Amino acid sequence: MVDNNFSLLSISVIIPVYKGGKAFSNCLASLSKSLLSPAEVIVVVDGDDSESYQVAEDFGAKVLQLKTNQGPARARNRGAEIAKGDILFFMDADVTIHPDTLEKIVTVFQNDPDLAALMGSYDDQPGASNFLSQYKNLFHHYNHQIGSEEASTFWGACGGIRRDIFGEMGGFDESYRRPCIEDIELGYRLKAKGYRIRLCKNIYVKHLKHWTPYSLLRADFFYRALPWTELIHRDRNFVNDLNLQLSSRLSVIFIYLLLITAVASFWFPTLLLFGGLLILGLIILNWPVYQFFLKKRGLLFTLQTLPWHWLYYFYSGLAFAIGTAKYRLKGDHPTLSRQA
């Protein structure tokens, strides 16, 4: 790593890992190419994973190991407890940074003393080449690129926060025992306290994850959409940003109307015309993202995204209904409480 006296602020990199494999090796390798040397790289091995421990140790990172797999929220918190940098930069073990990522993060904090936290974006060149990985990660990149720069949440895959503020907030909520929405929840608490979070669309990391239908649906439905729904109700935070934009909410309604119309058309064939109008409406509502896919990957790729994108709206709507019902049935609804 090249020393650089770019800023008075120092930055600690914190990476939770469990069975990181080749992606984790690439993650660490990207840090060695950073234009700005971090004050330290802290790796928290989340359970019995001697291979990741050895890779991190060989790299020269400070390595902590938890006895059992307890989830990235707890792992990140343990790493933050020993960090010395002014800024804590959290990244996932399956992402790589760009050479200027850390430098840009420090610059933003240096130039904006009132900023509490920031989040970056996936780049538009995902590491895995299969269609589903390209679609999923490009869609994530697109949502970040159109999001409000005054962010409403935080992101653990590429997120920086001032160490003192992180400590004041009590860190991530460790009741989330899987890779989940612990970063979103922290962002909601930061905003509720009046702190500013900035979405920096020109700060990039590359996602290396290889998505399969099973891993995508499990992560999106069980680990993200369901708990996020309950969090939205808990904090009454129906913000029109990122995945919660009005066009997305309308698309969910259109998808369910389309399904009802498709079934009813067996008895009332004239409803097929209405179904065609709903499809046209979905395309119009989502034209910006389809235009993005066209530009990045061409017509055939874009046509392949349609069933997956519409499936996304289907299970998002289903998760919202189930999550809402679960929240209502719980009865006791504390707002903005951190469950340690």
Residue 145 has pLDDT above 70, yes or no: yes
If you write DSSP's letter for every residue of 46-100 in order, what string do you get? ESS-HHHHHHHHHHT-EEEEESS---HHHHHHHHHHH--SSEEEEE-TTEEE-TT
- The whole-chain average pLDDT of the chain stands at 91
Looking at the structure, tell me whether residues 272 and 333 fall in a common domain: yes
The stretch 290-306 carries a mean pLDDT of 97
Residue 284 lies in a domain: yes
Residues 120 and 171 in one domain: yes
Of 211, 229, 244, the one marking the end of a domain is 211
Q: Mean pLDDT throughout 41-68?
A: 96
Backbone angles phi, psi at 8, to 5 degrees: -75, -20
239 shares its domain with 152: no
pLDDT band of 339, cuts 50, 70, 90: very low
Work out how many domains the chain is built from and give that number: 2
pLDDT digits 0-9 by tens, 115-127: 999 999 999 999 9
Q: Same structural domain for residues 96 and 224?
A: no
pTM score, two decimals? Answer: 0.90
> Could you tell me if 272 and 308 lie in one domain?
yes
> Is 3 a domain residue?
no
* Residue 3 pLDDT level (bands cut at 50, 70, 90): very low
Q: Which of 211, 241, 266 is the last residue of a domain?
A: 211
Asked which of 186, 211, 236 is the last residue of a domain, the reply is 211
Give the pLDDT confidence of 55-113 residue by residue, as tens digits: 999 999 999 999 999 999 999 999 999 999 999 999 999 999 999 999 999 999 999 99
Handedness of CA 52, 54, 58, 62 (dihedral sign): positive
**Both 191 and 114 in a single domain?**
yes
**Residue 178: predicted pLDDT:** 85
4 within some domain:
no
The reply to whether 225 falls in a domain is yes
Residues 205 and 279 in one domain: no
Phi, psi of 172 (to 5 degrees): -80, 150
Q: 5: pLDDT confidence band, cut at 50, 70 and 90? A: very low
Alpha-carbon span 324 to 205, nearest angstrom: 33
The residue segments making up the domain with residue 235 are 213-340
pLDDT tens for residues 184-210? 999 999 999 999 999 999 999 999 999
Same domain, 205 and 246: no
